Amino acid sequence: MQDLPAALPGYGPLRATRIRAAQTDRRRGKLLESIRAAIEACDLRDGATVSFHHHLRDGDGVLNLVMAALAQRGLKDLHVAATSIFPVHAPLLEHIASGTVSRISASFISGPVGAAISRGALDLPVVLRTHGGRARAIAHDELKIDAAFVAAPAADALGNLSGRSGRTACGTLGYPLTDVMSAEHVVAVTDTLVPFPAAAIDIPQDRVDHVVLVDSIGDPAGIASGTTRPAEDPGSRAIGAQAAAVIAASGLLKDGFAFQTGAGGISLATAAEVGRAMAARGVTGSFCAGGITGFHVEMLRAGLFRGLMDVQCFDLEAVRSYQSDPRHQAMSAAVYAGPHVGGAVVDRIDAVVLGAAEVDLGFNVNVTTRAGGEIIGGSGGHADTAAGSRLAIITTRLTAAGFAKIVPRVGTLTTPGETVDVIVTDGGIAVNPRREELAGQLRAAGLPVVGIEDLAARAAAAASRPVPPRAEGRVVAVSEYRDGSVTDVVRQVGSPAHR
């Protein structure tokens, strides 16, 4: 070609361009014929960390497909770094038993896997991280992912992924959006291969290495797990009405109000009451965040909020809204809840309404274990939103299944009491002593403010079963806070033989 100097000051050596006939490789795309081929292409070895996300929730088929292929390949000691594990993932127990899986980390674990871990199925402690803490751990290389497997409702051959099309459309892909930024390899698993370019793209092709077409990535009916409608029973509605009254009395309910609720019946009953109050006062909120339900979509359409910030669609109505309404925007787990991004969406929330398995006298909340110590969940975004929001409200009944839910000391500390402001129960409202001014506002509004000790006493009186003692077995799980510190450990209950 041209006559080039060998080197230049301020530039260094010059390497002359040589054109290789490698274009065909680039054109071929990223399609592989099987998950097995993808495992080979990623060069996964014993001890590797493989990540999964839970947008298909209890309908997810991808984690099981991939783990079966990894087991078939004879891999051992794998680390399953999932965002959440559901009952549908029970086949993980076989892979634990066979030695294919020796480590698990997740933000939420429910169903048989949680029960088995609690009974000591794994020798190494499970690491439970908040959604924001998981994003931080990935970004800071504390959680190094060898291969991220993305359940893609639609994909093209170059690896553009869409959660908005395909027969298992699940909406936003907020959790893998974080994984694919740092994973060594990214494998998209799809049952809907579309012509290039996929539309609308949720994860762009430069973040995806391989695409595998399978028969089914899961059951779309499993996306909406449990109810995502406001509770109708009088007890739940009463708690919801009081939580909404707390928000109204707090002074936060004004233009620009930012709101998050879970998808549970009491949370959505609260949201319904808050929506009525906003409409009555002529308040236009800024956004609802979090997992988004059809109920949040209704509030958007009613003009109560300007937008939705959605890390995960909780039902198919939310999916349809994300497909068509530009005010309904996706966010990654890092943007949602990361403590490392200089201000996440959770840091802009005015009020969040959260649930609890237990609350204690220090306002600490347990959403990780049930009475007796068995793992039934984990923080998810609980600790993140409590820390970020101006007003963190916990709604709970005084008792459940005969056990007191307001207790001297939580079985597992998931969300530190320093970040919790108000407990709303069917036996009164307790305000964190840190928020004395707020307690005054609630009293002025005629709300039944009582001491947390009073709530605990009423709960104990109403309970038919004693609070079980803390388990004392070996540590089976570590509950990490958003910053990687440890809020608590979970200890073994019973033994593997008992499961």
Asked if 27 and 154 touch (Cβ cutoff 8 Å), the reply is no
Residue 199 sits in the site that holds a second copy (CB under 8 A) = yes
Q: Which of 200, 214, 457, 460 binds a second copy (CB under 8 A)?
A: 200
Please tell me whether residue 280 binds a second copy under the rule CB under 8 A. Answer: no
- Answer for which of 248, 263, 292, 344 binds a second copy (CB under 8 A) is 344
Tell me which residues in 307-326 interact with a second copy (CB under 8 A): 307, 309, 326
> How far lies 320's CA from each of 171, 223, 225, 316, in Å?
8, 13, 17, 6
Q: Which of 8, 221, 302, 445 binds a second copy (CB under 8 A)?
A: 8
Does the footprint of a second copy cover residue 209 (CB under 8 A)? yes
DSSP secondary structure string for all residues of 352-393: EEE--SEEETT--EE-SB-TTS-B----BTHHHHHHHSSEEE
Round to whole Å and give the CA distance between 392 and 369: 20
- Select 272 or 335, whichever has its Cβ closest to a second copy: 335
- Cβ at position 389, least distance to a second copy in Å: 9
Label residues 347-360 b or e (16+ Cβ within 10 Å = b).
bbbbbbbbbbbbbb
Identify the residue among 46, 444, 486, 495 touching a second copy (CB under 8 A): 486
Q: Cα separation of 448 and 219, whole Å?
A: 45
- Conformation bin of residue 133: beta by default, left when phi > 0, alpha when psi is -120 to 50: alpha
Binding characters for a second copy, 21-60, by CB under 8 A (x = yes): --x--xxxxx------------------------------
Least distance between a second copy and beta carbon 443 (Å):
25
For a second copy, the binding residues in 384-423 under the rule CB under 8 A are 387-388, 390, 413, 416, 418-419
Q: How far is the CB of 307 from a second copy (least distance, A)?
A: 6
Q: Which is nearer to a second copy, 33 or 472 (CB)?
A: 472
Residue 397 · residue 235 · CB < 8 Å: yes
Site membership for a second copy, residue 158 (CB under 8 A): yes
Name every residue whose Cβ is closer than 8 Å to that of residue 433 and which is 6 or more positions away in sequence.
none
Figure out which of the listed residues 235, 256, 402, 408 binds a second copy, where binding follows CB under 8 A: 256
C-beta of 462: minimal distance to a second copy in Å? Answer: 26
Q: Which two tokens stand for residue 294?
A: 């059809």
Residues 6+ away with beta carbon under 8 Å from 71:
94, 95, 98, 100
- 365 vs 395: CA distance, rounded Å: 11
Binding residue for a second copy (CB under 8 A) from 19, 280, 469, 498? 19
d(CA 350, CA 422) in angstroms, rounded, equals 13
Give least dist CB 106 to a second copy, A: 15
What is the bridge-based pairing of β-strands 399-400 and 428-431?
A: unpaired
**What is the token pair recorded at 394?**
């916990």
Per the DSSP assignment, residues forming a β-bridge with 451 are none
Quote the CA–CA distance of 467 and 264 in Å, as a whole number: 24
- If we measure between CA atoms, which residue out of 175, 217, 177, 218 comes closest to residue 193? 217
d(CA 141, CA 136): 8
Residue 335 binds a second copy (CB under 8 A)? yes
Q: According to CB under 8 A, which residues from 465 to 484 bind a second copy?
A: 475, 478, 481, 483-484
Residue 445 found at the interface with a second copy (CB under 8 A): no
Residue of 190, 205, 242, 260 that binds a second copy (CB under 8 A): 205
In angstroms, give the least distance from the CB of 182 to a second copy: 11
- Using the rule CB under 8 A, is 306 a contact of a second copy? yes
Number of residues that bind a second copy (CB under 8 A): 77
* 347 touches a second copy by CB under 8 A: yes
* Interface residue with a second copy, options 57, 103, 131, 382 (CB under 8 A): 103
Return the range that interacts with a second copy (CB under 8 A); candidates 2-10, 55-63, 273-281, 312-320. 2-10
Q: Does 127 bind a second copy (CB under 8 A)?
A: yes
Stretch that binds a second copy, among 7-15, 54-62, 216-224, 461-469 (CB under 8 A): 7-15
Kindly state whether residue 342 participates in binding a second copy, applying the rule CB under 8 A.
yes
One of 331, 367, 456, 493 touching a second copy (CB under 8 A): 331
